[in-house]
Amino acid sequence: MAMMPLTPGSSPQFTATPQPVPLPDGVIPTWSISPAAAGMVSADPTGLVATVAIASTAAPGMNFVLGVQASMPDGTTPNGSLALTVVAAMVETTSFDIVQTA
């Protein structure tokens, strides 16, 4: 699967893999994004797959942190984070201009 660029208005998907062993049954991680102006994050029912709706107002060059955390039965809170940067939307060729040259 191709990686989706982190452009304003895009919705890339991320997967968290617990290390070194799977989470116990019933433990569902939660995701966060900081700063909140970067967008919103939602997770699937397992809590291991998240989709980030990057704000259409997020400026190229904006840095944000995507985080995931779980509350374990023993009171510990394993977590992970990923620093990311919004990039400018890619412009694709949509037409041609034709001019007489000779």
Dump strand ranges (E) for 1-102.
13-15, 30-34, 39-43, 49-54, 63-69, 79-85
Q: Centre a 10 Å sphere on the Cβ of residue 69 and count the other Cβ atoms it contains.
A: 15
DSSP 48: S
Residue-level pLDDT, tens digit, the chain, 102 residues? 556 789 999 999 999 999 999 999 999 999 999 999 999 999 999 999 999 999 999 999 999 999 999 999 999 999 999 999 999 987 778 888 888 787
SS3 36: helix
pTM for the whole thing?
0.84
